[in-house]
Structure 1
Amino acid sequence: MLRSDFFLQIRILLVLVRRDYALQYAGSALGLTWMFLQNLSLILVYTIVFYFLGIRSGGGDAREYFAHVLSGLLFWIPLQEFLIRGTGILTDNRQLIKRSPLGPEIFLWIPFVQFLLHWAITSVPILIFLFWLGKVNILGVLLSFVCMVLTGLYLVCVQNYLARINIILRDISPLVRLLTQFLFWGLPIVYESKGALGKWNVFNPFFFPLETFRSALLIGYESRAGFVEFLPFLFLFTGILLLSRSKLNQIVLDHL
C-alpha cells in the first residue's frame, strides 16, 4: 500500500513538472531546450574568456584552472536556477493548489526534479570537455551526481521556507536573485580558495557541497572544505525546514 502510494505521488509529481514547463515555455521539450541553450551560452562565454583568452588565476596551468571553472559552473548554474524557481513555485501554482486536494507540499518538489534535469542537461557539454582534458572518469561522474542530489536535498530545506515566505510577503524574488550573486562570488568558482578569499569561503553555506562535488568529479582534486565548518549550516538549514513546516503551513494556506 505504501509502495503504491509512493509511486502514485511520483507520477503526480512528474505530471506537475511537465505542467510547470508547459506554463513557462509552452512545452516541456521547449523548456528543456531553452534551458540547455541558455546554460550552453553561459558556458561558452566562460570558455572564451578563461580558456581561449588565457585569463586564469595566478598565471597557473590553463587546463587545470579551466577544469576548476567548469566544475564550479556545473555545480552552480542548476543550483541557482533551483533557488530562484523554487522561491516562486507556490505563488505560480496558487490557483491549482486551492482547487486540488494535493496540498502545497508536492509542489515544492517540482523545482528539485527540474534541478536534477537541468544538471543532467548542463553536464553534457561540460563533461565532454572535461573528458577531453582527462580530468574526469565514469565513476567520478556518478559520484558527482550523488553529490548534487544530496546538495539539492540540502537546499530543499531553505527553498521550502523561501517558497512559503514568498506567498506571505507577495514577492521576494528580487531579493533572492540578489542573494544568489553574493553566494556566487562567495564560492571559489572563477577563483581558487586560498589566501584571504579562502578564509571567507568557509562562511558560504555551499562551500563544502561545492568542494565535495569537485573532489568527486575531478581526478586528483583535494577538497579545501572541512565538514566541521559545514555542520552549523546543516543544523541551521534543518531548523529552517522544521520551522517552515510547523509554523508557516497554515499561514500559507490562509494567504493562497
Structure 2
Amino acid sequence: MFQSDFLRKFRILLVLVRRDYALQYAGSALGLTWMFLQNLSLVLIYTIVFYFLGIRTQGEDPLAYFAYVLSGLLFWVPLQEYLIRGTGILTDNRQLIKRSPLGPEIFLWIPFIQFLLHWAITAVPILAFLLWAGKLGGIGLPISFLCVFCTGLFVACLQSYLARINIILRDISPLVRLMTQFLFWGLPILYESKGILGKLNLLNPLFYPLETFRSFLLSGYESKAAFTDFLPFLILFLAIFFLSRARLNQIVLDHL
C-alpha cells in the first residue's frame, strides 16, 4: 500500500517536473538544451581562465588546480540553481496549488528533482575531464552522487522554509541571490581552504558537504572539514524544516 502510494506520487511529481520545464522554456527553440549549453559555457569559461591562462595556480600544477576548481563548480552550480529556483516554486505554481488536492508539499520537491538532473548534466564534461586527467577517484561517481543527493536533502530543509516565506513576503528572490553570493565566496571553490579563509569556511554550512564531495570525487584528496563542525548546522536546518512545516503551512495556504 505504501509502495503503491509512493509510486503514484512520484509519477505525479515527474509530471510536475516536466510541466515546470515546459513553462520555463516555453517559446524557446532549444528548450531544455539551453540549460546544458549554459552549464557547458560556464565550464568552458573556467577552463580558459584557470587551465589555459593558468590564473591563480601560483606555480602549482595547473592540471591539479583546475581539477580542484571543476570539482567545486560541479558541487556549487546546480546547488545555486536549486536555491534560487526553489525559493519561487510555490509562488510560480500558486494557481495550480489552489486548484489541486495535492497540497504545496509535493511542489517543493520539483526543484530537488531538477537539481539532481542539472548535476547529472553538468557532471558529463567535468567527469570526462577528470577521467582524462587521472584525477577521478576509483568509486568517485556513485559515492559523489550520493553525497550530492544528501546535500540536496540538507539544503531542502532550508529551501522549504524559504519557499514558504516567499509566499508570505511576496518575493525574497533578490535576498536569496545575495545569500548565494556569500555562500559561494565562503566556500573554497576557487581557492584553497587555509589560513584565515580556512577559519571562515567553518562558518559556511556547505563547507563539510563540499569537502566530503571532493574527497570522494578527486583521487588522493583529503577533506579539511570535520563532522563536529557541521553538526550544529545539521541540527539547525532540521529544526527550521520541522518548525516551518508545523507553523507556516496554514499561513501559506491562507496567502495563496
TM-score (norm 1): 0.98
* Ranges in structure 1 where 5+ consecutive residues have no aligned partner: none
Alpha-carbon contact 1:21-1:27 (below 8 Å) kept: no
Q: Hey, what does 2:102 align to over in structure 1?
A: 102
Q: Hey, what does 1:163 align to over in structure 2?
A: 163
Q: Hey, what does 2:200 align to over in structure 1?
A: 200
2: CA distance between counterparts of 1:5 and 1:27?
Answer: 35
Q: Hey, what does 2:183 align to over in structure 1?
A: 183
2: CA distance between counterparts of 1:148 and 1:23?
Answer: 26
Alpha-carbon contact 2:164-2:252 (below 8 Å) kept: yes
* Ranges in structure 2 where 5+ consecutive residues have no aligned partner: none
1:1-256 aligned at under 5 Å gives the runs 1-26=1-26, 30-137=30-137, 139-256=139-256
Structure 1 segments (4+ residues) deviating >4 Å:
27-31
Q: Deviation at 1:60? A: 1.2
Listed one character per residue, the Cα deviations across residues 120-169 of structure 1 (whole Å, up to 9, x for unaligned) are 00000001111111001452111100000000000000000000000000
Q: What is the RMSD computed on CA atoms of the aligned residues?
A: 1.3
1:59 counterpart SS class: coil
2: CA distance between counterparts of 1:205 and 1:57?
Answer: 27
2: CA distance between counterparts of 1:3 and 1:145?
Answer: 24
Listed one character per residue, the Cα deviations across residues 56-104 of structure 1 (whole Å, up to 9, x for unaligned) are 2433111111010000000000000000000000000000000010100
Alpha-carbon contact 2:140-2:216 (below 8 Å) kept: yes
Give the aligned residue type for 1:207.
Answer: F
Give the aligned residue type for 1:224.
Answer: K
2: CA distance between counterparts of 1:31 and 1:19?
Answer: 12
Alpha-carbon contact 2:137-2:216 (below 8 Å) kept: no
1:180 counterpart SS class: helix
Give the aligned residue type for 1:223.
Answer: S
2: CA distance between counterparts of 1:38 and 1:58?
Answer: 29
2: CA distance between counterparts of 1:254 and 1:210?
Answer: 38
1: CA distance between counterparts of 2:58 and 2:229?
Answer: 27
Alpha-carbon contact 1:57-1:191 (below 8 Å) kept: no
How many residue pairs align between the two structures?
A: 256
2: CA distance between counterparts of 1:19 and 1:244?
Answer: 26
Q: Deviation at 1:35? A: 1.0
2: CA distance between counterparts of 1:123 and 1:78?
Answer: 10
Q: Deviation at 1:109? A: 0.2
Alpha-carbon contact 1:91-1:167 (below 8 Å) kept: yes
2: CA distance between counterparts of 1:175 and 1:35?
Answer: 23
2: CA distance between counterparts of 1:138 and 1:187?
Answer: 25
2: CA distance between counterparts of 1:74 and 1:174?
Answer: 23
Q: Deviation at 1:2? A: 1.0
Percent of matched pairs sharing the same residue: 77
Give the aligned residue type for 2:110.
Answer: I
Change (3 A) 1:29 1:215: farther
